[in-house]
Amino acid sequence: MNAHDITDGVYAIHADIKTSARFEGIWPIPHGVTLNSYVVKGDKTALVDLAKDWSHSIDQFEAQLAAAGTSFETLDYVVLNHLEPDHTAFLTELRRRNPKVELIATAKGIALVRNFFKINENLREVKTGDTLELGAGKTLEFFETPNIHWPETMMTFDRANGILFSCDAFGSYGSLGDRVFDDEFTADEHAFYERESLRYYANIVASFSTFVTKALDKLKDLPVKTVAPSHGIVWRKNPGEIVARYARFAGYNTGSPCEKEICVIWGSMYGYTKQGLDAVIAGIEAEKVPYTIHQIPDTDASFVLADAYRASGLVLAMPTYEYKMFPPMAHILDLFERKHFTGKKVLRLGSWGWVGGAKKEYDEKIANFKWTSVESAEWQGAPTKEELALLKERGRELARLVKSE
Ligand code: FEO
C-alpha cells in the first residue's frame, strides 16, 4: 500500500487489520479495521497518531512512511490524540528506535504515556489553542475533546489546509485496501461503511454521546476541508457527511429521535417464546413498520447493539431461565445500560415453565433506562390461541408507538 497525499506534505498512511482477534478484546471485526496515521512534513516531521503492532501493521506503516519520505527512526514528533493502545502500543519500540522523538499529548495523555509505557522523557503537554510549528508553513493546532473516546483525547488541526485529525471520532470498522478517500468508494461501498460506522459507534462511542455533541459544537466554526480519523475513510470530498452522521448517531441516546424501526432481539430454549414472538412480528408487519431481528446468543452482541441503537422500538423476547432472565438477554441489557441506550419504546415478552422470574429481574434492570414500555406479556408453556391474539395486538401497539414518534 502507498502513502496517500492529502495535500502537499501531508500524507495518510494506514494498516489494514485482518484478524480473528476482537477489537478491544470484545467486538468482532469480520471485515477488518484500519489504523490510520498522518505524516505532516514541514522542516520538521510529525506523525499524528500511531498504532499497535497488530496483524503486520508495523510492516505496513514502515513501507508507507518510506513512501512519504520518512521513517520511525527520523520522526521529530508524534502527536498522540488518544492513548488507547490501538494507537499507541508501538510507542515503547518507537522510543527505542528513535530516542529523540518528542511525544505530544494533553496533560492526561502524558500521564498515560508515563503509566502505560514508562516513558518519562521528551514529552510535551498541550492544551486547547496550543500549536506546534513544523516550519515551511506547517502548523498543528490542538483542541481538547475529552471522552472521545477517553478523558485525555484531543484533536489536531492543520489550519492552513483545513485538515482535522480526529482520532476515534468519525471512525469506522472495515478495512480499506488501497483506497482511503471518500471519493474513491462507490455508493454500495459507502452503504457498507456506514453500517460499519454505526456498529463502531454503538460498540465504542455510544457511552460518550454527550461529549461527541460537545466536541461537534466546539469544532463547528473550524474551516474543516478534510476529516482524517484514525479508523476508516478519510473524508476530503464530503467531510460534512461524516460529521452529520456522527451528530445523528450522538442524538440517538441524547434525546433526538431514533429511526422509525424496531429491533427484535430474541432467545428461546424450546420454541415456546418463539411462538409468541411470531405473533408479535405479525402485528408489527400489519402496521408496516420495518424491523431487524437477531437471535441471541447466535448473533454476536456487537451486531445487536448496532441495530438496537438506531431503532426507536425494541422487542425483547426471552423465556425465564432458573427464576431469572434468559442469560444472553441479561448480557444484552447490561450492554444497553453501559452504552446508555435510553429513550426506547419497548415490548418484552416470554414464556415460563414451572415458575416465572424474568419479569421481576427485567423490571428491576430497566428501572432507570428511561424507556417507554408497552405492557409486557408472559405465558406458561406454549401460548394459547387467545394469548397469541393478545401478542399480535401488543406488536401492533408497539409499532404504532414507533410510527407516532
Ligand atoms: Fe481507536 Fe479509543 O481507540
Atom from ligand 1 closest to the CA of residue 231 = 1
CB atoms within 10 A of CB 166: 31
pTM: 0.97
Residue 91 has a pLDDT of 98
Of 91, 78, 213, 234, give the one whose Cα is nearest residue 145.
213
Sign, CA dihedral 62-68-71-72, equals: negative
- Rounded CA gap, 239 and 233, in Å? 10
Averaged pLDDT of the chain: 97
Which protein residues are within 6 Å of ligand 1, measured from CB? 82, 84, 86-87, 149, 168, 230-231
Rounded distance from Cα 104 to ligand 1 centre (Å): 17
For ligand 1, atom 1, which residue shows the shortest CA distance?
168
Assign 301 a pLDDT band (cuts: 50, 70, 90): very high
Cβ–Cβ < 8 Å for 183, 26:
no
Which three cell numbers mark 194? 456506514
Query: Which amino acid belongs to residue 237?
Result: K
Q: Is the pLDDT of residue 1 over 90?
A: no
The span from the CA of 124 to the CA of 113, in Å, is 11
Residue for grid cell 520511525: 72
Q: Mapping DSSP to helix (H, G, I), strand (E, B) and coil, where does residue 310 land?
A: helix
- 227: cell is 476529516
- Per DSSP bridges, beta strands 320-321 and 311-317 are unpaired
Q: Indicate which atom in ligand 1 lies nearest the CA of residue 167.
A: 1
User: What is the tens place of the pLDDT at every residue in 153-198?
Assistant: 999 999 999 999 999 999 999 999 999 999 999 999 999 999 999 9
Going from the Cα of 86 to the center of ligand 1, the distance in angstroms, rounded, reads 6
Between CA 399 and CA 205 the distance in angstroms is 28
What's residue 248's pLDDT?
98
pLDDT of residue 405: 81
Q: Read off the pLDDT of each residue in 116-131 and give the average, rounded to a whole number.
A: 98
Note the pLDDT tens digit of each residue in 388-399: 999 999 999 999
